Structure 1
Amino acid sequence: MSLGVGDPEVVGEYRLLDRLGSGGMGVVYLARAASGRQVAVKVVHSQFAEDEEFRDRFRQEVAAARRVSGAYTVPVVDADPDAERPWMATLYVPGRTLAEELAERGPLSAARLRRLALGLAGALGDIHRVGVVHRDLKPANVLMAKDGPRVIDFGVSRAADGQALTVTGRVLGTPPFMSPEQLNRPHEVTAASDVFSLGTLLAFAATGYGPFDADSPYLTAYRVVHEPPALAELAQPLRDVVARCLAKDPARRPELPELVEAFTGLPTRGPVRVATRGAAAGGAPGRAAGGAAARAGGAAGAAAGTGRARRDGAAADPAGSSTGGLASGAAAGGAGGRAGALLRWPRGRWPRRALGSLASLTALGLGCGAFLLFGPDDGVRTSGPVGRGVRAAALPDGWRPWEVALHPSGVTPKAGPAGTAGLGEVFDPQCVARETRLFCGGMGFPTVRLDARSGRLDWRTDALSDPAEMASGSQPIGVRGGLVFVHDSPSEGRTRLVALDAESGEEVWSRQVSDSAEAAIAGDLVLDSAPGDGAITARHTATGEVRWSYPVPPGQECSPAGHAGLPYALCWADDGESDTTLVRRLDRASGAATELAHLRNVDEPLGTDGGDLLFLRYQDRDGAPYQSLVRLDAVTGKRHEVRMPRLALGHGSLAGGRLFFVQSSGRVTAVDPRSGRTLWSSLSDVERLGLPSVSTREHTVYLCNGSGRVLALDLRDGGERWQTGPRSADSGFGMSMETSAVLRVDGALVASASDGTLFSVDPNSPDPGR
């Protein structure tokens, strides 16, 4: 498009040549630098330039885009966020957006879809590697260049420094391609959100409709949060891969290395869609034909009666036209695009067009809980000791409350809280969950698999651990690619890393490892410490074959760690006196080490938050509060310390984006990991609690102690919601302080007592008949 009246001739040092397009955020121009290089220049609309908050968001976009570089993204070459009309220049890459491609040519072939999937996974890898979450991955933000797809427009991204500008009463993104957590807890979005959007985008590219499409963005958002995706038309193996990406729980979505492996196996020939009974022409199975319109962010729509996408024009936006709250416009050139859906209203006021009325909400099964979806952060609070009706996920099909006893001789049903199985002994069960399967191990008994819906034993591996050996035990550390990985110590001085088939329990491979360090999983690598020299060895999860080995420097001891899919070595001087931790990031491909920091007086890392590794720094281990939280940039090694409050005492952990300090007295303190501010501190009468488990949707933190007593606290103020009775007369010997935890299996809770009692309860009815 030629330049029009009112378009500038020059922006910065770039002479404008043509208009590439206009979106909700600004106009994108083709321009030429003095050197002759062509660039795409995005200039913010004048009505936004005076909005300081908008300028802040534009600065965030520029900062996020500058950090990202790679074969599948478009680099920023220049920007001026403080200009009269802020602008940003990126490398110009000729090509149409995926939205335009789909509108013009319809769904992609198998070969093009495979190429798109691999390219987008590569782009997200580049984006996430520098601690940025895109948060608006949709067809309008994918540029189909000749050398592969490019991801563009970081307008609503969240950078690792946490400067997200999703404020109270606003939801940023495009509903058909947003993740559940982006809709109902936008301040806690992680890289897993982009994986969900990727799954939605691939389904759309293969079929021409989104798996959650509905007649309005509000209904679409409801389906994203509450309903399963419509994937019946996708052919295998694409359907299974997309379904895993669309798991409601972010923790259940595959990591990018695993996705790359899955995408590599996609066929390049044959159909990507299959015929389904009852599918409306041109529509999604099980959806109204009119509601199956393709929500491509501004360019694609479903053609009624043909099943083919048609061209609607650059400004068409079926998602935006159905509500006045959505910004419309098309992505353009190599950098442009609209800002995504922006739903906003003043605090305490509700838009009449949101869904009409409270009666409409109730008819849809939303009830007052709908206010939690789009409303202000301080919206309607549930009342009562249990918080009935605030359920993050449905209970698994066929679930019922159950209780079993785990011990060396087997798994048996256990009735009542005062059962005697294992009484007087501490088995300290440790479990990991995958869908409705539980993998549990502990001191003196082998790893078992149970059905989380009924407590039924599926299999046990008697080859692991030895009940006759006091020091024996097996501990599941994670599940990847159909394998469950177990750290097994059949006897003192003998430790193995074992990979079991998750379906049958049969041993797939095992390797002898050091008994001085735990194993860890990082993407498609499992890390262990070699016996003898202690070298950190990275193995392929599927085969156990060595990818690389990192030799421990002389005079040091090192332990492997995996955080956010990346491998690390945590090392200490072998002098018995040093309190310095050497943090090294290991290259996934070669094992080459990058020295990130030397940290004195810190515990092992709590995990990651916004691209930072978190360490608690102590001043005195003898009951004194933690001194500070060290935030270590996992890419640059840049360090920032946050002073901890006086109640930062006991066992520290990271859950739901918050720090929790749990004292043996029953006091639980929540702290903001960015500011160090105490959010609340609650003293309960449940002593020696274990690790917290957070449900932000239910506004609840769950904890359990060694006797199996479960405590639910209000996540917002620490008030007690409910507590159960004990499941065992034995509360253990102190080991449960750091290990007992509450797991989520869809809408159910699973917890354990230190004597080997394992049980499941409904958080909306946690203690029936007790």
Structure 2
Amino acid sequence: MEIEDRLPLTVDADTERRRWTLGAPPGVLGRPVVAGGTVYLPVADGRLAAVDPDRGRVLWCSAPLTEPDSARPVPVGEVVVIPVQREHGRCGYVALDAVTGTVRWRRIKSDLHRVAAAGSTLVLWNNTYDERGKIAGVDALTGEVLWENEFDRIWRLLVRGERVILDTGGLRALEARSGEELWREGYGSGYGSPLPGPGSPQPGQQGTDDAAVFHAWKDGTEPELSLRASDTGEQLAATRFPRRALRHFSRPPVLLDGGRALFAQSYGRRLQLYAHSGLTAAEPLLEWRLARWRFTSFSEDPVCVADWVYAVAGRRDQVYAAQCGGGSGPRPLPVTAPDGRAVTLPRTVAGPSHLFLSDGRTVAAVRDGRVLWTTATDMYDSWPVPLGSDRVLFSSRSRTADRYRLHCADAETGRRLT
């Protein structure tokens, strides 16, 4: 057992299996987030701790920050940038040294409330309806403003390597370090809007995609998903989608691993999954309609893990599962806690290999449409956080309620150190 300096934390670790547990008094630990291969953990007094993901050791703890948004750290080179004092349409930023946690620079609150990392540059922008779309490049190490620009509106932003792809009513690309415009294509929806690819669930975040290409979605009478070169904007390939089949869907698709596109419409609880990679016409893989009543909805957006699609719907938020190409529709997925009670009102968290469920007091893991394990946490606010493909983070409370614990557990079995 090791006592960490400056924080009332205890650490138990199994370094061979890369499992560990942090213990602390009530009110010390917040909800963890994984970014850039490090676990960031909010602790008491507005501080942020960086935790070694393999040993559970606290690497550093920052000084108190003013209203930090610890759920959205942005690692960029030698620093990690934390939004602070966030409100609708406005935000400030603090850059912490990635090795020591000391403050490198601060930026006062402004209307540039969206942030993304592009190489050694921090890209800040806004997408509010009542203001023009402003964008700036900031040196990640110093906080120096490198360039600024302004458009009528920035509808979407996507980072590909050192390039920033924008939808400003037409597609255009900027060089992240200089702000120089590399290319521009037309104006209007006919040119599509850039889409985050697999591994990029948040707009503006770099994922596992090839930096040389990006996808763009064009809606309208001829829906089309195109693959484009990020350095020139040239269309390399395109896949057509059936307009009649998509008439109920108002949002662009979510791109998944394996060259698949997922469409979901909350009202009516509709879902469709298509294969698109290397095809001129998309091929349907799965279609759901869980309710015939108009004013029914999914409790949250459906998710896809491996070859299974999961959705939560109904009065008691029943979990449904269906296998892509399995030939059958969705089926209810019963989730039962160790004491025999059904887990109600669950939220879903998709990992690389598992789906994790929680109702705040119980955590469960699902793989291939089957519940692998459930465990009680005795906490109201205990939401799982995937750590790679084989581990998961979640919190629990001791039976005497005088100790809170953050577990790094095995994703397949739920085994953890106590």
Pick the TM interval, shorter chain.
0.5 to 0.7
Q: Indicate whether 1:615 and 2:262 are aligned.
A: yes
Cα distance in 1 for residues equivalent to 2:306 and 2:104: 31
Match of 2:275 among 631, 643, 655: 631
Cα distance in 2 for residues equivalent to 1:742 and 1:501: 30
- Distance apart, 1:749 and its partner CA: 4.5
Cα distance in 1 for residues equivalent to 2:106 and 2:358: 25
Q: TM-score, normalised by structure 1?
A: 0.34
- Distance apart, 1:714 and its partner CA: 1.5
Cα displacement string for residues 519-547 of structure 1 (whole angstroms, at most 9, x for unaligned residues): 012344221123xxx12111223332222
On the 8 A contact 1:606/1:615 being kept in 2, the answer is yes
Cα distance in 1 for residues equivalent to 2:231 and 2:58: 44
Paired residue total: 319
Cα distance in 2 for residues equivalent to 1:658 and 1:517: 31
Q: Indicate whether 1:588 and 2:230 are aligned.
A: yes
Identity %: 14
Cα distance in 1 for residues equivalent to 2:327 and 2:63: 41
Which one has a larger percent strand, Structure 1 or Structure 2?
Answer: 2
Match of 1:480 in 2: 118
Match of 2:333 in 1: 681
Max radius of gyration: which structure? 1
Match of 1:234 in 2: none
Q: TM-score, normalised by structure 2?
A: 0.57
Match of 1:259 in 2: none
- Distance apart, 1:462 and its partner CA: 1.7
Cα distance in 2 for residues equivalent to 1:458 and 1:492: 33
- Gap change, CA 1:487 and 1:251, over 3 Å in 2: same
Match of 2:240 in 1: 597
Cα distance in 1 for residues equivalent to 2:229 and 2:82: 30
Q: Indicate whether 1:464 and 2:131 are aligned.
A: no
Residue type of the partner of 1:398? V
Cα distance in 2 for residues equivalent to 1:508 and 1:723: 47
Match of 1:642 in 2: 285
- Distance apart, 1:455 and its partner CA: 9.0
Match of 1:660 among 310, 313, 317: 310
Cα displacement string for residues 348-367 of structure 1 (whole angstroms, at most 9, x for unaligned residues): xxxxxxxxxxxxxxxxxxxx
| Within-5 A mapping of 1:207-606 | 394-395=54-55, 397-398=57-58, 410-411=66-67, 430-432=72-74, 437=80, 439-440=82-83, 442-444=86-88, 445-449=91-95, 460-465=106-111, 474-477=113-116, 479-489=117-127, 492-515=130-153, 517-530=155-168, 534-552=169-187, 556=190, 558-563=192-197, 564-565=209-210, 566-573=213-220, 581-593=223-235, 594-600=237-243, 601=246, 602=249, 603-606=251-254
Cα distance in 1 for residues equivalent to 2:99 and 2:264: 41
What secondary structure, in the 3-state scheme, does the structure 2 residue paired with 1:762 have?
strand
Match of 1:721 in 2: 375
- Distance apart, 1:629 and its partner CA: 0.8
What secondary structure, in the 3-state scheme, does the structure 1 residue paired with 2:187 have?
coil
In the alignment, structure 2 segments of 5+ residues that lack a partner are 1-14, 19-33, 38-51, 198-208, 292-296, 336-341, 396-403
Residue type of the partner of 2:218? C
Residue type of the partner of 1:616? F
- Gap change, CA 1:453 and 1:481, over 3 Å in 2: closer
On the 8 A contact 2:303/2:309 being kept in 1, the answer is yes
Cα distance in 2 for residues equivalent to 1:721 and 1:761: 14
- Distance apart, 1:642 and its partner CA: 1.4
Cα distance in 1 for residues equivalent to 2:381 and 2:333: 26
- Gap change, CA 1:704 and 1:523, over 3 Å in 2: farther
On the 8 A contact 1:567/1:586 being kept in 2, the answer is yes
> RMSD of aligned C-alpha atoms?
5.1
- Distance apart, 1:452 and its partner CA: 9.2
On the 8 A contact 1:692/1:741 being kept in 2, the answer is yes
Cα distance in 2 for residues equivalent to 1:584 and 1:652: 23
What secondary structure, in the 3-state scheme, does the structure 1 residue paired with 2:280 have?
coil
- Gap change, CA 1:587 and 1:434, over 3 Å in 2: closer
- Distance apart, 1:680 and its partner CA: 6.9
On the 8 A contact 1:656/1:694 being kept in 2, the answer is no
Q: Indicate whether 1:763 and 2:408 are aligned.
A: yes
- Gap change, CA 1:687 and 1:560, over 3 Å in 2: same
Residue type of the partner of 1:549? R
Cα displacement string for residues 33-70 of structure 1 (whole angstroms, at most 9, x for unaligned residues): xxxxxxxxxxxxxxxxxxxxxxxxxxxxxxxxxxxxxx
What secondary structure, in the 3-state scheme, does the structure 2 residue paired with 1:725 have?
coil
